[in-house]
Homo-oligomer: A and B are copies of this chain.
Amino acid sequence: MRLSRDVAVVGGGMTRFHHKIHAERTSRELFVEAALEAKGSVDNGFDLKEVEALFVGNFSSDAFEGQSHTAALMADWLGITPVAASRIEDACASSGVAVNVAAMAIASGAYDVVMVGGVEKMRGLTTEGVTDTLAMAADAIYEVGAGFTFPGLYAALASAHFAEYGSNWEQLAAITIKNHHNGSLNPKAHFQREVMDIALRQGEREQLTFGDELEFLKSSLNPYVAYPLRLFDCCPISDGASVLILAAGERAQEFTDSPVYIRGIGQASDAMALHDRESLTSLRATRLASAQAYKIAGVQANDIAVADVHDCFTIAELLATEDLGFFSKGDGGRAAVEGRTGLDGEVSVNPDGGLKAKGHPVGATGAAMAYEMFKQLRGEAERHQVAGAELGLAHNVGASGATVSVQVYGR
């Protein structure tokens, strides 16, 4: 696997991910906001007429808004028809895959300038409605029919990992605490408060004081959702959109003096249902997709300085940091406790707060990861900047791991 042409990111934008501030807005409005920020981010002025094709990752505007044919609608509302407009759906990896497809579209020679993004407007439904809708990304017959929704599926992965490697929930809590810290530094994040800050306020309301964050996370104020996962192990339900502008490498300098390049892409699938997997303690698709991306980029896992990984649940970040090769199998939890994935760690994981704190409007997540790498590698991530980051990675998972996309980004 290789790409015939270099592909550069020359612009990026995203809405804040949130559950309330977008209450009166539709997905088309969210997408246009992100796209106009992306347009404005291009250094030398940018005319949207340059865009030749649009790829939109979206999980299920069908179920969330009674609206499909999402990509053409976004092109229409952004005023960029007649560009070729295509929607990609690969569950929660929809826009991660869309970035890969967009990169291939440029590498193919078909287009020089492509817009790619993602959008999801979820909060029109109740929490129960969202949970049921998301469950469509699992096997409707063999998993959902048996009562599984995603908290349960990831809880099974956590239990298996605990049993096989002796990892534990306190390690997951370290991921929660780190990602809330990072989110507190990111004005686009859904949650912008440290766990300690939340603990103090909640404690006040409950006439309690807590010695530390872990005490709070262990208390009944952080109830179990699906054992061993508690509320703070789960990402929130968010609305939002994210957009990138890509250009053929040889034309990147027309648009910006500081392009970021997609050095490698990878993607893999796996059995839909957990009962058909070879392992419950490792996502094979993550291993294979990242191996492809590393190979194309000519890098190794330990070359990566900063990574956005798919932490829909804290256990997913633990698994990702192992399966991407950042740490040996079984060491991911310890590495999190030891701060090795913090903003100043050996590999900064989810510096933007991750799905846990930044939020997870599912179709928008993969492109938002790409947006974060674009900002990090240009040194524009402000308070959550990882110092001197040269190589970044975005890792987007569909459902419980039946789809994984990866990109490696570099200057």
Residues in A lying within 8 Å of B, measured CB to CB: 1-5, 26, 52-54, 58-60, 62-63, 65-73, 75-76, 81-91, 97, 100-101, 103-111, 136-141, 144, 265, 267-273, 276, 284-285, 288-289, 398-399, 402-403
Contact = CB atoms under 8 A, between A and B. Distances in A.
Nearest to A106: B108
Contact of A83 (B91, B105, B269, B271): B269
A406 to B, nearest CB: 11
Number of chain copies forming the complex = 2
B89 A69 contact: yes
A105 B104 CA distance: 6
Contacts of A52: 1
Contacts of A90: 69, 71-72, 85-87
Contacts of A141: 26, 67
A373 to B, nearest CB: 20
11 contacts: A2-B110, A54-B269, A62-B63, A67-B139, A69-B272, A70-B89, A72-B91, A86-B88, A86-B97, A86-B267, A101-B101
Contact of A72 (B81, B85, B398): B398
Contact of A105 (B101, B111, B144): B101
Nearest to A83: B269
B3 A110 contact: yes
Given A4-B109, A107-B110, A68 B137 contact: yes
A269 B87 contact: no
Contacts of A76: 269-273, 276, 402
B109 A3 contact: yes
B140 A82 contact: no
Contacts of A269: 54, 71-72, 75-76, 81-85
Contacts of A89: 58, 68-71, 87-89
A76 B403 CA distance: 11
A104 B5 CA distance: 12
Contacts of A87: 88-90
B5 A136 contact: no
Given A4-B5, A62-B63, A69 B108 contact: no
B136 A66 contact: yes
Given A54-B269, A76-B273, A103-B108, 19 more contacts: A4-B108, A62-B136, A66-B136, A68-B91, A68-B136, A68-B137, A69-B90, A69-B138, A70-B89, A71-B90, A71-B269, A72-B403, A81-B270, A82-B288, A84-B268, A87-B90, A106-B108, A107-B110, A110-B265
Nearest to A292: B84
A88 B69 CA distance: 10
B1 A110 contact: yes
Nearest to A26: B141
A35 to B, nearest CB: 14
A112 to B, nearest CB: 9
Nearest to A72: B402
A298 to B, nearest CB: 15
Nearest to A268: B82
A361 to B, nearest CB: 15
A63 B66 CA distance: 9
Contacts of A136: 62, 66-69
Nearest to A2: B109
Contacts of A272: 69, 72-73, 76
Contacts of A271: 76, 81
A3 to B, nearest CB: 6
